[in-house]
Each structure stands twice: as C-alpha cells, then as structure tokens.
Amino acid sequence: MGFYVSKENRQIRLRISYQAYETILQDIAEFQNIPEKEQISSFLNKILNNFWQEAESTVYAKKQKIHDQYLEWLKGLENAQKAAEQLTEKEIQDRFKKVKERYSQPQRAKGQNLKLIMTKPTMEMLKNSEEQNLYDNISDYSAALIQEYTTLSREERERIFFKDLFKTINLCIKHKHQAEIEINDSYLVKPYKIATNGFLPYYYVVGYARRKNKLTAPWKLMSFRLQRIRSTTEKEDDEYKFTKEQETELKELFKTLAKIAYLSEKEEKIVVRLTQRGYNDYQKKILSSRPTCIDKKKLSDLEHPFVYELTFSCSSMQAYQYFIRFGMEVKVISPEQLRKGFKNLHENAVKYYK
C-alpha cells in the first residue's frame, strides 16, 4: 500500500532549494515547449514518472533486492534468513538517512515553494509506491526526487526527461527498424546512435534520413536534436541496414563530434587568421563546437597582430558560431559570405557606441 491520494487531493505543495529551482527553470526552457502556466507541473510530473525507479531517493522499493543479495552472500550460514533481514533493515535506514541529508526539503526561508498538480500517472505511481514506509508524506518524497534530479549532470537530466524517446530510438537501433521522426516535417530515419556533439551537452539522433513525402529521394546523413523532436515511432515493418559506404561515413563523423550539430549544412573551405591569444583559445580554452584544423601556416611579422592562418573543412554555420566568440582575436579570410557576415556584425556593433 502506497501514499493515500484522492482525486480531490491532486494538488500538493513542495519546497526545493533556490539552486534546484533555477535548474528546473533552465531545463523547462530547454526541454519543453508548452503554455507557461502549465510548465512547472507538467515538467515535474514527467520527471517524477521518468526518474523514480532509478533514483537514490526511492529507497524502500529496493528492499527486496538488497535482502536477496544479503541472503546470497550468507547462503549456508545458520540463521541466514534472520541475519539478512537485520542487515537489510539497517541498510535501508542508512540509505534513507543519507537521502534525507542530501535531498530533504529545505527550511521555508531557504527554499522555493512549488505547486504540483499531479497527473493520473503520478497519482498511480504514488499510490503503488512503498516509500510511504519511510517518508512522512507525498511532498517529502516528491521533493527528494526533484532535488536529486537537479544534482545530476545536464546530459543525465536530458536523458531522464526524454526517457521515452531514448527507449523508442534504442529499440529501433536494436531491431534495425526505421523510425518516423516528426519535427516541422516528418522524416523516415535509419538511426545509428543517440550522441552528444562533443563539449556541448545536447543529444542528437544521428543516422540516415529522408522526408516521408519524398520516398524516392536518396538517404542523407542527418542529425535531429532531441529538444526539437515532437514525436517518434518505431516502424516495425520497415527494416534497414547500412551500406559499407554509409558505415564508413558514420565512423568518420564520430571522429569529429562537433560536426553532429551541422549535418544539414554544406561543408566548405574556411580560412581564418588568429592572434597568439586567439590561437591559444582555439587550442586550450574554447572547445565546444570546435572545428578540426586541416592546415596551419605561420604568418610573417607583416601580418601583426595575427600569427597563424588556419584552414578548416566545415560548414559556415559551425565556423560562425564557433569563431564569433573570439572577438578581435580572429579575422575571417574566406569564404567571402562568411567574411561579410563577421564584418557586418562588428560594423553594426560599433554604431551602438557612436
């Protein structure tokens, strides 16, 4: 028997730390696109349902597994059953004590109050929960789950929020079934992997795809950012396999992860010049979305303050988004369209200070 939840008692209040609240707002802005008034409850319900089984805060549900493990270790000893029960109870209490220390609701003056309107799946989860054996009420347990969620890395939180999408795509990969992915348009996809694009912690579905309404078009290497996917379906009747050329292209792609985000863009020859500070930033500091250099040339003193000329093979979009952070430490040489883009940006910025 779990927590008592009635239809009239769907609304609860819980309190989380201000830091946890900021993380929740950040994830809401990135992960979901629904009316503002519904955002917090919708988000929290999804996290509670997707996270409770694997959470450290879900303690009592693990009791049987812990007991069976102790019983296996003590097999053959006298009073093994009783000893296993005692050790299990002690471990449950120790785990719960640690959870309370780490994730309990903060004092009123040190936390943010939230209103949660529970959905039917959340109510069913709580009704069937065994955590009422440890937690005083629903708010305490829910707050612990949310607090724990916000301590995880950005990648882990995205994986939890998009749990159903991960499951569907991974089943497609396992069964070699095409996936139908809807963004602004519908695509048929031969998924290869769900991966992040290097130092930027955004997940993408990577594979070969074509529009659903253009079935005669060639398959193209593409990536779909998880936050932009509206729905995905496993096409159980449509199997696929990669050609040798496609497998080779995929393996080459994953040698330069930054390219994952720019597969829809055409690659071209990009040439830039960097100051010594700019070159140091390229080498050691500004790493997210960094394009791979294919040629480097040392410049003469006549080119001061620029000391290196670097050549890349990447999309103009990747080069723009990467080098825009370098300010005066970079000068774009080619292509001309990209050079004009940087020139116009800086000229327009100067106008603000005249």
**Placement of tokens 């594979």 in the chain:** 207
How many helices (H) does the chain have, and how many strands (E)? 12, 11
pLDDT per residue over 266-322, tens digit each? 889 999 999 999 999 999 998 888 898 999 999 999 999 999 999 999 999 999 999
- Percentage of the chain modeled with pLDDT above 70: 97
pLDDT per residue over 69-124, tens digit each? 999 999 888 899 999 999 999 999 999 999 999 999 998 778 999 999 999 999 99
Torsion from C-alpha of 189, 287, 302, 312, nearest 10 degrees = -20
Distance between CA atoms of residues 9 and 137, nearest Å: 13
Structure token pair of residue 55: 């959470």
* Closest-CA residue to 180 (of 220, 232, 134): 232
Residues 6+ apart with CB under 8 A from 35: none
Residue 33 banded pLDDT, cuts 50, 70, 90: low
Residue 258 banded pLDDT, cuts 50, 70, 90: confident
pLDDT per residue over 193-204, tens digit each? 999 887 667 899
Helices 163-175 + 154-161 axis angle, to 10: 80
Domains (range + CATH), the chain: 7-157 (no CATH), 162-261 (2.30.30), 267-351 (3.30.70)
pLDDT per residue over 115-161, tens digit each? 999 999 999 999 999 999 999 999 999 999 999 999 999 999 999 99
Distance between CA atoms of residues 295 and 81, nearest Å: 69
pTM over 0.85: no
Distance between CA atoms of residues 198 and 278, nearest Å: 21
